[in-house]
Amino acid sequence: MRLKWKIFVASLRMFTRQREAIIWTLLLPLFMITLFGFVKFDGMGKLDLGVVNEAGANGNQLIESLKSVKALKVSGGAQDIELAELGKGERDMVLIIPPNFYLGAASQLTVYFNDARPQEVQLGQLVLQRVLDEIVFAQSPPPNRIVLAAVPVKSRNLTYIDFLVPGILSMSIMQMGIFGVAFGFVQLKKRGILRRLWVTPIKPSDFILGQVAMRLLVVLMQICIIIGVGVAFFGLHFMGNFLELFLLGLLGGIVFLSMGFALAGISKSEDQVAPLANVISLPMMLLSGVFFSRNNLPGVIHTITDYFPLTYLADGMRSIAIDGATFAQVGPQFLGLGVWCIISCTIAVKMFRWE
Amino acid sequence: MTDTILEVKNLVKRYGDLVAVNGVSFSVHRQEIFGILGPNGAGKTSTLEMIETLRPIDGGEVSLNGIDVRTKPQEVKRVIGVQLQSSSFFDKLNLKELLLLFGEMYGRVVEPMKLLTQVELDDKVSAQVSELSGGQKQRFSIAAALVNDPVVIFLDEPTTGLDPQARRHLWGVIKQIRSEGKTIVLTTHYMEEAEELCDRVAIMDKGKIIALDPPQELVRQLLARGFTKERIERLASLEDVFLSLTGHSLRED
């Protein structure tokens, strides 16, 4: 135990004295958040309109008309769900069609709107009013006009930063695990440092455990610093609890560390390890929903990326950090990473070579 | 029975079809400096690495301080000190931290200053290995080989690549360590190093030991076989000229 601790302390000392390591694991992620944070990916595209139809068939014609308007993205559901979405900032407006609604009756419709997006909402109200008028005047004789009553709702408006920060955090855990371990151990092998260790009575497992413990501590530091900087400087809407973040981060850390060990096992030099590490990490970096939502990926690729370890980690981190998801809610992510953990540890044990 | 500390019998190492070590036998006495001399590829390093537990023994027996190397490698590791040919140490740790860490691997709390003084590196205690000169690096790896107070120390080509001053300095350090009661087994391909430093020398070629005796005895045997050098015996060599012009003191610091 004492030796494992000493190895841990020495490894941490070496890590913190290595300028490149600090840059790659902490500064680069923060730099990427800054860079992508400046590019505004919000505010483009359609107006999200939620429709709560309590009038059944009587409301359907109105909904069809709304759906034909290109500027609107219409989704429907029960009133409490739609209002909750509005509260989260997922909807710009929610239109309520009451049970007694039918065309021809003089009526008033209530529309709730996100008070933090006045311009979009103003435009949306105009569009809605016009759609209503068109329907009404298409009837003959024209019945009474339907008027809109607008009610502002305080929303928690998630921004691109809220999407980006947990993604970048997950990506930097992956990079630290795969690249840090793969390059670090290939060097130890190549320079004969490991051989020098094996003429002492040290058990290889003691050495590996000390190293793994050090890197898992770095994962915790990454979580604290990246989330902390996100909240302090980028207005991250953090709602999560750190215990969940830590546990998911450690699980993800173990998955990627063991991938690093497997790569170090089959490579003899840095030249061999670099392309392998990139082949594994690049697709995940681009397709696991780190920078952009996976919603726009075509079907098959979307399904495949569902099972990427980085997808589990990024989705889980995001749900915990932004939506305050409970353990039960991120159960699938824990499970997915758990399965990956078994797979990658098994491969690492099989592939790792000391020489 | 003589005071034998290392007994090697019919040692064999194969790499595929190549027999790198082909039935090597020798014994080393306590507090001796024993040299294995031979050209590159003679099997010196393979022989050492089998004794050091680093390579599986393909045939034969090795007994070190009464411990069977093949069946009890962990016990052997505890009593030997090793300097590997191209040994390297962790970056970013200074000499003191490295020695403390290596001591911990044997469950010992060592005194770094004492070890560094033994190899005359006490002024480099806060330096990192990458900042040391070639001779200093070799001296440091000897210090690292001493952390567990070993009974036998193995040095694999300790002076290869060093300039004459640094080489002589290292010889002094090695002799000093022997005088403190250690047994030293080293490999070299420098004849004059074997002659200067070793009590007995095994000459190895193509995986076999072809001669084993004190250096003077080997020379005597050669002369007895009627050998004469064609050139005239010189009273000084070019190295003597070099050392006399540049001085015996070290330049590396």
pLDDT score of A251: 96
Contact B137, B129 (CB under 8 A): yes
A333 band by pLDDT with thresholds 50, 70 and 90: very high
| Closest residue on chain A to B75 (Cα) | A201
pLDDT digits (tens, 9 = 90+) for A208-223: 899 999 999 999 999 9
Q: Is A292 left (phi over 0), alpha (psi -120 to 50) or beta?
A: beta
What is the C-alpha separation between B237 and B196, in angstroms, rounded?
A: 15
Q: Which of B65, B69, B74, B84 is nearest to B144 (CA)?
A: B84
Rounded average pLDDT over B90-96 = 93
d(CA B206, CA B22) in angstroms, rounded, equals 8
Residue in B closest to A196 by C-alpha? B87
Q: What is the length of chain A? A: 355
Lowest mean pLDDT among A248-257, B19-28, B78-87, B116-125: B78-87
Read off the amino acid at residue B231.
Answer: R
Confidence label for A313 from pLDDT (cuts 50, 70 and 90): very high
Predicted local confidence at residue B231, as pLDDT: 65
Chain A residue numbers touching B88 (CB-CB < 8 A): 191-193, 196
CA distance B73 to B88: 22
Picking from A6, A186, A198, A200 by the largest number of B CB atoms within 10 A of its own CB, the best residue to mutate is A200
Distance CA A230, CA A122 (A): 31
List, in sequence order, the alpha helices (H) in A199-326.
204-234, 242-266, 270-287, 299-306, 309-323
- A57-67 and A118-138 are packed helices; what angle lies between their axes, rounded to 10 degrees? 120
Query: For a pLDDT cut of 70, what percent of chain B falls above it?
Result: 94
- Which of A111, A95, A110, A106 shows the shortest CA–CA distance to A62? A95
Residue B18's CB is within 10 A of a number of other CB atoms, namely 11
Sheet of B200-205, strands arranged across? B80-83, B152-156, B183-188, B33-37, B200-205, B208-213
Q: ipTM value of the model?
A: 0.86
Measured at the CA of A341, the angle between CA A335 and CA A343, to 5 degrees, comes to: 110
**Residue whose C-alpha is closest to residue A192's, from B77, B233, B141:** B141
Per the CB < 8 A criterion, the answer to whether B20 and B14 are in contact is yes
- What pLDDT, on a 0 to 100 scale, did the predictor assign at position B252? 55
pLDDT in tens, B4-44: 999 999 999 999 999 999 999 999 999 999 999 988 888 99
CB contact under 8 A, B88 and A6: no
CB–CB of B104 and A3 under 8 A? yes
* Cα–Cα distance, A38 to A33 (Å, whole number): 8
What would the two tokens of residue A39 be? Answer: 């590019």
Residues of B in contact with A192 (CB under 8 A): 84, 86-88
Measured between CB atoms, does A196 come within 8 Å of chain B?
Answer: yes
Distance CA A243, CA B144 (A): 42
Average pLDDT, chain A: 86
CA distance A200 to chain B (A): 6
In the predicted structure, residue A141 carries a pLDDT above the cut 50: yes
pLDDT (0 to 100) of residue B175: 94
- For the segment B52-69, the average pLDDT, to the nearest whole number, is 94
Q: Which of A28-32, A242-246, B244-248 has the lowest mean pLDDT?
A: B244-248
pLDDT, greater one: B140 or B223: B140
Per the document, the length of chain B is 253
Which residues of chain B have a Cβ shorter than 8 Å from any chain A Cβ? Answer: 52-54, 74, 77-78, 80, 82, 84, 86-93, 97, 100-102, 104-107, 144, 148
Beta strands at B33-37 and B200-205: parallel, antiparallel or unpaired: parallel
d(CA A15, CA B31): 41
Higher pLDDT, B57 or A351: B57
Q: Do residues A43 and A75 lie in contact, with contact meaning Cβ atoms separated by under 8 Å?
A: no
Identify all chain B residues contacting A199, using CB atoms and an 8 Å cutoff: 52-54, 77, 80, 82, 84
**pLDDT tens per residue across span A29-70:** 888 888 887 765 554 467 888 889 888 887 888 888 888 887
Is the Cβ pair A10, B82 closer than 8 Å?
A: no
Which residue of chain A comes nearest to B92, CA vs CA?
A14
pLDDT, position A146:
76
Residue A102 exposure: Cα atoms within 13 Å on the Cβ side:
3
Q: Using CA coordinates, name the residue in chain B closest to A5.
A: B104
Is A192 close to B84, i.e. CB distance below 8 A? yes
Contact by Cβ (8 Å): A119, A64: no
Nearest-by-Cβ selection for B54 from A6, A191, A195: A195
Residues of A in contact with B106 (CB under 8 A): 200-201
3-state secondary structure at position B188: strand
**Token pair in block for residue A153:** 């709702």
CB contact under 8 A, B74 and A201: yes
> What are A274-293's pLDDT values in tens digits?
999 999 999 999 999 888 88
How far apart CA A271 and CA A277 sit, in angstroms, is 11
Chain B contact set for A193 (CB, 8 A): 88-90
Inform me whether the pLDDT recorded for A314 exceeds 70.
yes
pLDDT at A83: 87
Using a CB–CB cutoff of 8 Å, tell me whether A1 touches chain B.
Answer: no
| Record: contact B106-A200, CB cut-off 8 A | yes
- Give all strands (DSSP E) within chain B, no chain letters: 4-15, 18-29, 33-37, 59-64, 67-68, 80-83, 152-156, 183-188, 200-205, 208-213
pLDDT digits (tens, 9 = 90+) for B143-190: 999 999 999 999 999 998 888 888 999 999 999 999 999 999 999 988
User: Does the distance separating the beta carbons of A195 and B84 come in below 8 Å?
Assistant: yes
How many Å apart are CA A316 and CA A338, to the nearest integer? Answer: 13
Q: Which residues of A touch B107 (CB under 8 A)?
A: 2-3
Q: Would the CB atoms of B90 and A14 count as touching at under 8 Å?
A: yes
Is the per-residue pLDDT at B234 higher than 80? no
| B74: chain A residues, CB-CB within 8 Å | 201
Please indicate whether, in this complex, the C-beta atoms of A6 and B101 are within 8 angstroms of each other: yes
CA distance A241 to A316: 12
Residues of A in contact with B131 (CB under 8 A): none
Residue A104 pLDDT exceeds 80: no
Structural element, H or E, at residue A73: strand A72-76
CA A316/CA A298 separation, integer angstroms: 22
Is A197's Cβ below 8 Å from some Cβ in B?
A: yes
A192 vs B52, B77, B86: nearest CB: B86
